[in-house]
Chains A and B, each alone.
Chain A
Amino acid sequence: MAATTTFPRLLLDHATQRPDAAALREKEYGIWQTLTWAELAQLVRELAHGLAQAGLQRGQHLVVVGENRPRLQAAMLAAQALGAIPVPLYQDAVAAEFAFPIINAEVDFAIVEDQEQVDKMLELREQCPGLGHIWFDDPRGLRNYEQAGLASLDALCESGRQHAQAQPDFFNTQVALGEPGDVAALFFTSGTTGNPKGVMHTHASLIDRAQAGARFDKLTCDEEVLAYLPAAWVGQNIFSYAQWLACGYVVNCPESASTVGIDLKEIGPTYYFAPPRVFEGLLTSVMIRMEDAGAPKRWLFNQCMALARRVGPALMDGKPVSTFDRFKYALGNLAIYGPLRNTLGLTRVRVAYTAGEAIGPDLFSFYRSIGINLKQLYGSTETAVFVCLQPDNQARSDTVGVPIEGVEIKLSPSGELLIKSPGLLKGYFKNPAATAEVLTAEGWYHTGDAGFIDASGHLKIIDRAKDVGRIMGGPNDGAMFAPKYVENKLKFFAHIKEAVAFGDRRDRCCAFINIDFDAVGNWAERRNLAYAGYTDLAQKPEVYELIRECVEKVNADLAQDELLAGSQISRFLILHKELDADDGELTRTRKVRRGAIADKYGVLIEALYAGRNSQFIETAVKFEDGRSGSVSADLKIVDVKTFPAVRSAA
């Protein structure tokens, strides 16, 4: 059952059926400003006319870069109304990273947020001479720019209004020409290796998944959503664009990236998505503030949280709980859980999702225990997100849910997960070879993930299929090595921010660790441990001892699992700098780029395996303003205790 409509048609439906209902809100000058569906439709109409006047044709691409802003959202709709294809790009990427998508998609038109993005586009003009038209939303600082083809969105709307007077039927005709099978958007995947790939999604695939997800969670037009993740990410497109148009709920744009926390509290979203690191950040900030609270408050908090850990998840899952415990939980709700949910800005959340990375069991159950319906999902850019979702009363930290309507799952002989769904990509843009690699003739998509369906019908993911390796030589010869699985277990500790494990085709597993500067910094302050900065703190013997304890706990945990006991970490070091996307060490979605790190820090890996106790390293770093410098340090390397594998009884 494929979707039979397009995004612009959905917009016009809302504008006719409920013209005065709120569509978008944006906080500006301290006040939430509302745009109704009718006003939005008018704005889209003007932008579409303006873009057509400027020469944007059916099938051409339009780059959109910026934070979530109503007019950028409208620009995507305007392009789609003309049958053109919006290409959202990551706003925090450096100019050079835009070059490939712009050249690849032969982009002539760009709509960007502000001066920062305009500067990047102008910088790219030498490489991409076709980039003739650039419009900006926020004119600040651009008064004296006189480059050809650069204009404000206000000017675009104005020229659109004139065009509309001359051709009043143009817009509706163009919308009617659009077919559900047309490509609706092009998402460039950050990719851990090689050039990014442009994932083509049709109106039908995005709308189908948006509607399937909405039915699964019974979403209505009354939901409130905060649009704070980068628009270039397919998940943001699903939650704040596809489902927004499919359900007709309200999307709220924060005032600026730094006010998201405040805006979250003011809006109180009912439907919320955040990657695990956001939930982790929220919890860390609560815990740090709790440690500063007075003794009676701390006592009450600890008492209530102990109760919540015991009965909270059971209550959320609808399992039987004794009346007395229910009564105590209700008191706890008055004293702690309710106010805490309010502080987090999650009071009204009906459905919250997390995905993208594994989430720690403690972190996951913390949110569920205080009455927030946090669940996990599984999906990717190529599958338009929704593949597996957790039903309300079956949320677990180690699975990613059950296949939802329309989805079929099977395992390849090598253990790779294959998917068939109406939400699959149409293909990679201008890259049939890559498309053929992931999409079989029978319509199965190769996820590249290794996983299995467990006894309860839930999907469980172990690692990327290509990353799963083997230990070679040593006492654990031939054991399975799943780096991400090990790294995730390390990252579940609040003091560890990132970890990179090595071990494939080696005799044992070793790891690089990044400490969490906030958490460890706070820990050090409490112990009167003076430090000068990240590099200094990371090399303190006390910090090494702290991290060594964490690693040992991970080893003890891994030893419980017969399959992965060979992946225990025998040595580690703490890196002298934080892994950073600007230095090419993480992807823009903060995934570790294993290959790049192994190349860059080869000397450290060698030191780990050669049994040295310290190693000098100097690394070039790029600062936010584009300057570069270097960080150097003498890194300590320490050994960790490993445990014998626990053979499963019987």
Chain B
Amino acid sequence: MTSKKIGDVILEVKNISLAFGGVKALSDISFDVREHEIRAIIGPNGAGKSSMLNCINGVYQPQQGAITFKGQTFRHMNSRQVAEMGVARTFQNLALFKGMSVLDNIMTGRNLHMKRNLLWQALRWGPAEREEIAQREKVERIIDFLEIQAYRKTPVGRLPYGLQKRVDLGRALAMEPQVLLLDEPMAGMNVEEKQDMCRFILDVNDEFGTTIVLIEHDMGVVMDISDRVVVLDYGKKIGDGTPDAVRSNDDVISAYLGTSH
């Protein structure tokens, strides 16, 4: 395969520190994400990976530092604003509507693109209906892309975990994001499901040019699919670079394997 075109910095995190009372979750973290790249954040349990994602996503408000997204700098992000600017995410512990069908779950991801208000949507009449049909077409393309046609009408709660993860990804994709934040997309999956998910992540990156920031525990997966990797340990950044560079970094090795005394 040919090399893809990695662009300029789209997201920059500068000197972020986050504490919960006395617990320092993140201290002085800085890194950047370039357009169209797959950027992984790795680290042992409790390293602060999800906290980092939550800061970018506007769920947590860091005490120090700033985040620059598409040239605009923010002290802290607001989650709706972040979504409107083109950042979507999936969750470590799925946050799907279990009783709703796959189709409806993904449809919710289109909500920001709906022009008509709640009342119009509820009446589902005239312009609102036309709008829904247009949105439905986008959703169908995502269903086709993720190969979940067979489960279109199935309530999400009845699907196996691996497929639920795929639906979660589908809902995030429905926002047509520029940047996609994936929180452990492969947690709890078997080998075959992991392979499928890897292929979907690479395809999303390739087909739509979406920039992807992912947290992942499976080192094999991370090293295979990401362009650059940030390594966190106890809230501090201990490594940053290409998978090969990170793999040979002494601090990273000791964080993962422990040091001999």
Contacts and interface: CB of A to CB of B under 8 A. Distances in A.
A629 to B, nearest CB: 11
B206 A259 contact: no
Interface string A254-266: 0110110010000
A258 B149 contact: yes
A144 B149 contact: no
A258 B148 CA distance: 9
A141 B149 contact: no
A146 interface: yes
A29 B137 contact: yes
A144 B2 contact: yes
Contact of A30 (B4, B147, B149): B149
A144 B206 contact: yes
B95 interface: no
A140 B203 CA distance: 8
Contacts of B141: 29
Nearest to B206: A143
B143 A30 contact: yes
A144 B207 CA distance: 10
Nearest to B143: A30
Interface centre among A28, A30, A255, A625 (most CB of B within 10 A): A30
B1 interface: yes
A538 to B, nearest CB: 20
Contacts of B217: none
Nearest to A141: B203
Contact of A256 (B150, B192, B195): B150
Nearest to A627: B191
B147 A140 contact: no
B247 interface: no
Contacts of A256: 147, 149-150
Contact of A259 (B137, B149, B195): B149
- In terms of DSSP, what is the predominant structure of the interface of chain B? helix
Nearest to B138: A29
A303 B147 CA distance: 41
Contacts of B145: 140
B195 to A, nearest CB: 6
Given A255-B149, A259-B149, A259-B150, A29 B144 contact: yes
B140 A625 contact: no
A140 B150 contact: no
B152 interface: yes
B233 to A, nearest CB: 33
A203 B141 CA distance: 39
Interface in A1-59: 28-31
A140 B207 contact: yes
A220 B122 CA distance: 46
A280 to B, nearest CB: 21
A29 B203 contact: no
Interface string B201-221: 001001100000000000000
B4 A144 contact: yes
Given A140-B207, A255-B149, A256-B150, A146 B140 contact: no
B207 A30 contact: no
Contacts of B195: 625
A29 B1 CA distance: 28
A143 B145 CA distance: 15
Contacts of A262: 150
Contact of B152 (A30, A144, A625): A30
A144 B192 CA distance: 24
Interface string B2-35: 1010000000000000000000000000000000
29 contacts: A29-B137, A29-B140, A29-B141, A29-B143, A29-B144, A30-B140, A30-B149, A31-B140, A140-B145, A140-B203, A140-B207, A141-B203, A141-B207, A143-B206, A143-B207, A144-B2, A144-B4, A144-B206, A145-B1, A255-B149, A255-B150, A256-B147, A256-B149, A256-B150, A258-B147, A258-B150, A259-B149, A624-B192, A625-B192
Top 8 nearest A-B pairs (CB, nearest first) are A29-B140, A258-B150, A259-B150, A255-B149, A144-B2, A30-B140, A144-B1, A259-B149
Given A140-B207, A144-B206, 8 more contacts: A29-B140, A29-B143, A30-B143, A30-B152, A146-B2, A256-B147, A259-B150, A625-B195
